[in-house]
């Protein structure tokens, strides 16, 4: 660095001595340049004359002989040295990760110890129980008297959020093949959640589940094993604008019906059913409730049809939903109620009445609580208003909805639907497109 400063100082001195009267320097920003754009210095704002006016600069201290000594340094050998580094081995290392759907030693694929993995949905696979060497499960806890001692094939499904799971097999009557589909939490037949001969649909919470296709055995002891195609689809319920929360809803039920996702537990000293929600099951078509602003001679309707045409017109105008309404007023006498009167005893808001939902809840939610009613068969959904009515009393019915809800969903009385409490309680009542 010192030598550089010396060279620059000498150059400046030489320039001053020569005068540089007829040469113009070139300055670009903080860089002073000369011909061929050779950088001379980095001094901000410095002006340096062109190189051909400077002469040769020698850093040797001045003396009698100013002729620079010839450069006797031999030219550097620029021939590159041979590269003796051995070439890298580019052969990829063998992948020792076992494939997802490959059998480990001693356990054939499709057995309980090595089930087929349902990694993505929609999922479709064709297999044949007659080719399976697994016959580990003879019956299932959800149907212990059904003989499923023929060969079976196992599948595993891992869920990360609450979902509606639908599994179907192509049952062909009279073909001599009768395989059944089971959804379980264990591979030994225990923990059976639901089973059927061709279609099962259930709301399942996050966890690991097994879908087992098993061969039914008839009364003569003949296994009805054979080929089938299994299709599995999933509708997630825990995310998106139609997200539903997970909760256990205490009901008035004193027993749980078959096919309903329910368990018994004490409520204020009485053993009552608790519905796991979101839930899937049969939903009643409900009658109409009187809304705020509707007037009658005796405050409430005198019959199931008193003033009902006017109610239809008001409901359509408020909701904007056009359909042929036919249901009467909610019946009188249930719990001491009057015609068209809900369980709160008060007339309800008109925007909520067209889309109301009720359940036989032990503790009725706040009036106006939002619930999502979802039809997994076609993906349609409605934001419904809860807390205005209680019922139906049957433990085989998970709830009831207004006729407008059924109409939009493309369903009818006792159609099976999903009901769950909306995560977003600011949603507007009525049809919603889930995403």
Residue pair 323/285 in contact (Cβ under 8 Å)? The answer is no
pTM, full prediction: 0.76
Residue 5 has pLDDT above 60, yes or no: no
The whole-angstrom separation of Cα 212 and Cα 215 is 10
Residue pair 159/235 in contact (Cβ under 8 Å)? The answer is no
The whole-angstrom separation of Cα 248 and Cα 150 is 37
What is the phi/psi pair of residue 404, to 5°?
-65, -40
266-278 mean pLDDT: 98
Tokens of 173: 């009557």
Spacing of C-alpha 337 from chain mean position: 43
The whole-angstrom separation of Cα 35 and Cα 55 is 14
pLDDT for the residue 105: 76
The pLDDT tens digits for 352-396 are 999 999 999 999 999 999 999 999 999 999 999 999 999 999 999
The whole-angstrom separation of Cα 174 and Cα 251 is 42
Percent of the chain at pLDDT > 70 equals 76
The pLDDT tens digits for 101-155 are 555 678 999 999 999 999 999 999 999 999 999 999 999 999 999 999 999 999 9
What's the CA angle centered on 136, arms 131 and 141, to 5 degrees? 125
Residue 317 has pLDDT above 90, yes or no: yes
Selection from 357, 373, 360, 367 nearest residue 419 by Cα:
373
Selection from 153, 215, 147, 148 nearest residue 178 by Cα:
215
The pLDDT tens digits for 183-192 are 999 999 999 9
The pLDDT tens digits for 238-262 are 999 999 999 999 999 999 999 999 9
DSSP state of 146: S
The whole-angstrom separation of Cα 350 and Cα 233 is 37
Place of tokens 């096919």: 259
DSSP state of 300: B
The whole-angstrom separation of Cα 282 and Cα 401 is 11
Radius of gyration from C-alpha coordinates of the chain:
42
Structural domain spans, the chain:
2-53, 116-236, 247-432
Q: Could you name the CATH architecture of 116-236?
A: Sandwich (2.60)
User: Is residue 325 very low, low, confident or very high in pLDDT (cuts 50, 70, 90)?
Assistant: very high
What's the CA angle centered on 379, arms 377 and 385, to 5 degrees? 110
Q: Could you name the CATH architecture of 247-432?
A: Beta Barrel (2.40)
Residue 175 has pLDDT above 70, yes or no: yes
């Amino acid at each position: 660095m010192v030598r550089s400063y010396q060279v620059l100082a000498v150059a400046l001195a030489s320039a001053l001595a020569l005068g540089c009267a007829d040469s113009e320097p070139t300055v670009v920003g903080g860089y002073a340049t000369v011909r061929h754009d050779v950088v001379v210095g980095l001094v901000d704002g410095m002006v340096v004359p062109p190189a051909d006016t400077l002469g040769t600069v020698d850093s040797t201290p001045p003396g009698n002989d100013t002729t620079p000594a010839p450069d006797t340094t031999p030219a550097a050998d620029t021939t590159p040295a041979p590269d003796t580094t051995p070439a890298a081995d580019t052969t990829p290392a063998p992948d020792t990760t076992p494939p997802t759907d490959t059998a480990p030693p001693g356990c054939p694929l499709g057995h309980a110890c090595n089930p087929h993995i349902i990694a993505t949905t929609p999922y479709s696979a064709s297999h044949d129980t007659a080719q399976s060497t697994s016959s580990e499960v003879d019956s299932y806890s959800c149907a212990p008297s059904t003989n499923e001692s023929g060969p079976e094939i196992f599948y595993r499904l891992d869920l990360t959020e609450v979902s509606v799971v639908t599994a179907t097999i192509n049952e062909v009557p009279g073909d001599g093949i009768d395989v059944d589909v089971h959804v379980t939490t264990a591979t030994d037949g225990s923990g059976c959640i639901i089973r059927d001969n061709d279609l099962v649909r259930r709301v399942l919470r996050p966890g690991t589940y097994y879908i087992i296709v098993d061969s039914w055995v008839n009364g003569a002891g003949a296994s009805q094993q054979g080929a089938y195609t299994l299709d599995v689809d999933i509708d997630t319920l825990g995310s998106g604008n139609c997200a539903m929360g997970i909760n256990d809803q205490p009901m008035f039920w004193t027993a749980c019906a078959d096919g309903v996702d329910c368990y018994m537990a004490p409520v204020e000293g009485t053993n009552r059913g608790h519905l796991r929600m979101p839930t899937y099951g049969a939903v009643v078509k409900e009658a109409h409730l009187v809304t705020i602003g509707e007037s009658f001679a005796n405050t409430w309707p005198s019959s199931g049809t008193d003033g009902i045409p006017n109610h239809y017109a008001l409901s359509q105008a408020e909701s904007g939903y056009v359909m042929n309404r036919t249901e009467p007023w909610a019946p009188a006498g249930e719990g001491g109620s009057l015609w068209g009167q809900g369980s709160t005893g008060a007339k309800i808001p008109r925007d909520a009445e067209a889309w109301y939902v009720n359940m036989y809840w032990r503790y009725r939610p706040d009036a106006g609580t939002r619930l999502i009613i979802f039809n997994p068969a076609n993906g349609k959904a409605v934001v419904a208003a809860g807390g205005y009515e209680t019922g139906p009393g049957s433990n085989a019915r998970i709830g009831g909805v207004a006729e407008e809800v059924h109409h939009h969903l493309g369903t009818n009385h006792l159609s099976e639907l999903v009901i769950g409490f909306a995560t977003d309680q600011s949603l507007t009542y009525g049809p919603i497109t889930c995403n």
